[in-house]
Structure 1
Amino acid sequence: MKETTIKPYKLKNGDTRYMFKIYVGIDPLTGRQHSTTRRGFKKKREAELTYNRLKLEIYNGTYKKLQYETFQDLYNEWIVHYEKTVEESTFIKTLGIFKNHILPDMGSYRIEKINATVCQKHVDDWIKKLKGFRVVKSYAAKVIDFAIMRGYIISNPFSLVYMPKKRSLKKGKNYYTREQLIECLNAFKNTSNLKIYAFFRLLGFSGVRKGEALALTWGDIDFNKNSVNITNAISYGKYSNLYLKSTKTRDHREVMMDQKTMHILKLWKNEQAQKLKLLGFDIEGSQLVFNNTKNTFINPSTTRKWLLKIQNKYNLKHITTHGFRHTHATLLVEAGANLVGIQQRLGHSGNNTTTNTYTHHTENIKIETLKKYVDYIKY
């Protein structure tokens, strides 16, 4: 076996580091001789220990070529596979987590140097800085799991990290009572902006998600049957573009609606048609129900601005746009709707056999659930 001595070299700042190159044998795939280089050792003794360990692994036949030497190397391949398993919007969020938090901290680390102490240090830093530190830690651990799958390491040091117990923080309840919902909808009604009033009326009386409502076209609205068909949602994609995606549970659902909400939607449809005609657009089934000034998707963040303006003007309780979905679910429970009907209406996936069995008998459940809600709200 060809041996190479430990060599010193200088960094730009003048510090000394040590490196070595060692012959590891014939690559079975290419038939070529293969060597590996290791560098960055602060002490010569550290380099010698690693060199001798590799020699022993090569002699025993346990050495595995490090195709990925750093965390960044591993991430570069892992993210390619990960992209194929999730929605584009989830992928974009994941890219941001790595770009902003994980790679700046761990990207340059050599895989064999990442241990529980190193992982604990970064988790502790994330806990101090980030509300969603658990998610960041989870994603960093996924990359290490990928290294285990590839056979480069045998255990995940993130599994040895101490994590604080989840604390139940007292937060303001993100929903309205019956009276608060009516007060808020009346405030929107008084603004004389029919589109915004129709939007929040729909949320309050259907429980649909914001992204689902903003994806609706008039072809999804059945005025004869008084129903709204939820088939898609909008979300952020690459380069912050908005795109259509499947619903959160990937299911299509029909939401039965009360006559007053449908009447408000019809009024908005007529007003929208007049405005679009002036701009040279013809309203069709593919026309968005809620459009922006360019007749394209409304940015989801815009609805928050609409809501805050009203809440501040009328001194209303502050909830988020998503809080209207929580409001609808809470008031359905108060109205006495059964679990199957609530799950159906909100598009929640049933997790038990009983629920899945009864959801086949949908029409009566849909009608009864809506009736209980309308009778309870009386608005």
Structure 2
Amino acid sequence: MKDVLIKARTLSTGKIVYEYRFEIASVDGKRKWKSKSGFKTKTEAREAGKLAQQAYEHVGQPIEPSNMSYADFLDQWLEMDCKLNCKASTLQGYEKKIRLYIKPALGEYRLKAITKNNLQDFITKMYNDGFSRNTISSVKGLLTKSFDFALDRHYITMTPATRLTIPTKMQPKNKTRTKKHVYIPQNIMNKIFERFPEGSSAYIPLIIGYHTGLRLGEIYALVWEDIDFKNKTLSVNRQVQWETGEERTKEEKKKANGTSESNGFWYFSAPKYNSYRTIEIDDVLVEALKKEYNKQIKARAYYDEYYNKYYCENNMVFSKTDEVLPVNKISQSISQHIVDFVCRREDGSYISPRTAQHTSYIIHTQLNFQEYDTHSLRHTHGTMLSENGADYVYIQRRLGHKDLKTTMEIYTNHLTDTIKEKGVTTLNSLYM
């Protein structure tokens, strides 16, 4: 197999990109080449070319993996499988864990030489190094999926990633790295709403998070069709996420006067774990949303043609049975699919999840509550439900947890003053 050739090309804009090229079967006695251009670096072009060449040389037959490292195989798996079947955010998570954890530990070994003992030792070492159970479980899933793909493509004759276990009966050598679930006391919540009162851009996202426990992407993906004022319910039908797009060149940045504008965009996708759900909302939140809705109706009339409007490329999803596309791009380019966001400013401009970073910064610096992040609103809501006797099945379904075990692990390990007081009252009543 001949080497992949790399060549620099200069576009009409002056931008330099790289092209890979390799020879393929001749036709009518004439030499033929397969090529692709547009890569930012030589390394990127060479890696893509190697994958393309390998796919060409072995089309329709099993690849002999004797010289393939696990690192190279993982790149191929991401390209040939994950990019076709995963959401952009999921793919980014895969790439990050592979880069940080799997490749440094296992990447240099040949694919076919890795044994179950190698993988189990790796999992156990992560446990002893103090990684959280969620992180280890996620990495374990990547090992299983990647070797299943290798088996399916006949790169290996059997997978070593079977019945791998995360230790439970032994103490890790280093303290487990777990992110603390933060409960926001009532006095702090009062200060937060004093700092971000009705009319501020943070108020509606804050009150929705505090009163429903929705995830960040679910809050900012809400449209008015998701709110049922008559029955006092809110439906979670999607989440909003950011696609970074391609990095701009210096020339492109100059055209925008050096601003930080990017080629990225917001898009709708299915809720995490496909946790479509319709939940009840309390009277306080209903009233706040009604006021916001009426305010937006008046603002739309006042601004008229200057009111900011948003659209998505494909149908909005309002049911788990609707066809869900992994990426439904949102923009201000007119289409038949209107997006009537709940979170928007007076002129109709979208209040995006990025504003939550500013809200957190203000709460950290001005209110001196360093533990706060948007997820703590979700945890506080769940804790308040638990404090007041809500069944764990109800909490699980309301918060959209993947399973009941997750809910139980979080809310049976959190002791607030209210839960403690109720426990003491129950204890005293046992022997009366």
Q: Is the structural similarity TM-score above 0.5?
A: yes
Matched, 1:226 2:250: no
For residue 360 of structure 2, the aligned residue among 304, 307, 315 is 307
Match of 1:280 in 2: 306
Separation in 2 of the partners of 1:124 and 1:268?
52
Which residue does 1:75 correspond to in 2? 74
Alignment partner of 1:253 is 2:304: no
Higher alpha-carbon deviation: 155-164 or 98-107: 155-164
**Separation of aligned partners in 2, 1:155 and 1:346:** 36
Q: What is the CA distance between 1:315 and its match in structure 2? A: 2.7
Compute the displacement of 1:97 (Å): 2.9
In structure 2, what residue type is equivalent to 1:177?
A: P
**What secondary structure, in the 3-state scheme, does the structure 2 residue paired with 1:331 have?**
helix
Give the paired residue count: 288
Q: CA deviation at 1:304?
A: 2.9
SS in 2 for 1:194: coil
The equivalent of 2:372 in structure 1 is 319
Residue in 2 that maps onto 1:56:
none
Q: 1:185 aligns with which of 193, 199, 206?
A: 193
* TM-aligned CA deviation for residue 77 of structure 1: 4.0
The Cα offsets for residues 138-166 of structure 1, whole Å up to 9 and x where unpaired, read as: 53564345434525254638989997855
In structure 1, C-alpha distance between the alignment counterparts of 2:298 and 2:375, rounded to whole Å: 30
Query: Contact 1:229–1:255 (CA<8 Å) still a contact in 2?
Result: yes
Q: After TM superposition, give the deviation of residue 272 of structure 1 in Å.
A: 4.1
Aligned to 2:183: 175
Judge conservation of contact 1:64–1:152 (CA < 8 Å) in 2.
Answer: no
Quick check: 1:215–1:297 contact (8 Å CA) kept in 2?
Answer: no
CA-CA distance at 1:209 after TM superposition:
1.5
Report which stretch shifted further, 114-123 or 91-100: 114-123
Alpha carbons 1:74, 1:146 under 8 Å: kept:
no
Calculate the TM-score normalised by the size of structure 1: 0.59
- Structure 1: tracts of 5 or more residues without a match: 1-62, 353-379
Aligned: 1:332 with 2:358: no
Over 3 Å counting, the alpha-carbon distance change for 1:249 and 1:100 in structure 2 is: closer
For residues 218 and 138 of structure 1, do their structure 2 counterparts lie closer, same or farther at Cα, with a shift above 3 Å needed?
closer
Give the TM-score normalised by structure 2: 0.53
Deviation at 1:64, TM superposition (A): 8.7
Q: Which amino acid aligns with 1:93?
A: G
Partner residue in 1 for 2:146: 143
Write the distance in 2 (CA, Å) between the matches of 1:89 and 1:250. Answer: 14
Q: In 1, distance between residues paired with 2:104 and 2:63?
A: 27
Are residues 193 and 237 of structure 1, via their aligned partners in 2, closer, same or farther at CA, if it must alter by over 3 Å? same
Asked which structure has the greater CA Rg, the reply is 1
Is the 1:210–1:321 Cα contact (8 Å) retained in structure 2? Answer: yes
| 8 Å Cα contact 2:234-2:280 kept in structure 1 | yes
Q: Which whole-Å CA distance do the structure 1 matches of 2:273 and 2:129 have between them?
A: 33
Q: Can you give the 5+ residue segments of structure 2 that lack an aligned partner in the other structure?
A: 1-61, 246-263, 311-337, 406-432
Cα distance between partner residues in 1 of 2:179 and 2:281: 31
Please state how far the C-alpha of 1:350 moved relative to its aligned partner.
6.2
Q: 1:204 and 2:207 equivalent?
A: no
Deviations 1:35-66 (CA, angstroms, capped at 9, x unpaired):
xxxxxxxxxxxxxxxxxxxxxxxxxxxx9943
In the alignment, the residues of structure 1 paired with residue 65 and residue 349 of structure 2 have an alpha-carbon distance, to the nearest angstrom, of 49
Q: What RMSD, in angstroms, separates the aligned Cα atoms of the two structures?
A: 4.3
Q: Distance in 2 between matches of 1:185 and 1:243?
A: 29
Q: 1:235 and 1:162, CA in 2 relative to 1: closer, same or farther beyond 3 A?
A: closer
3-state SS of 1:300 partner: coil
Higher helix residue share: 1
Deviation for aligned residue 1:102: 4.1
| SS of structure 2 residue aligned to 1:176 | coil
Give the superposition deviation at 1:197.
1.2
State the distance in 2 between where 1:92 and 1:202 align: 28
Q: Is the 8 A contact 1:291 1:298 kept in 2?
A: yes
Name 2:156's counterpart in structure 1: 152
Larger mean CA deviation between 154-163 and 208-217 belongs to 154-163
Which residue type is aligned with residue 300 of structure 1? P
CA contact (8 A) 2:70 2:110 kept: yes
- Judged with a 3 Å threshold, the aligned counterparts in structure 2 of structure 1 residues 339 and 121 are, in CA distance, closer, same or farther, namely closer
Alpha-carbon distance in structure 1 between the residues aligned to 2:204 and 2:76: 46
CA distance in 1, matches of 2:67, 2:348: 48
Checking the alignment, whether the CA contact within 8 Å between 2:308 and 2:348 is kept in structure 1 is no
Q: Deviations 1:229-261 (Å, cap 9, x if unpaired)?
A: 211111244636432111224243222222332
Q: Contact 2:130/2:176 (CA < 8 Å) preserved in 1? A: no
Cα distance between partner residues in 1 of 2:178 and 2:124: 24
The letter of the residue matching 1:230 is V
TM-fit CA distance, 1:306: 0.8
> Structure 1's 161 and 169: CA in aligned 2 closer, same or farther, altered over 3 A?
closer
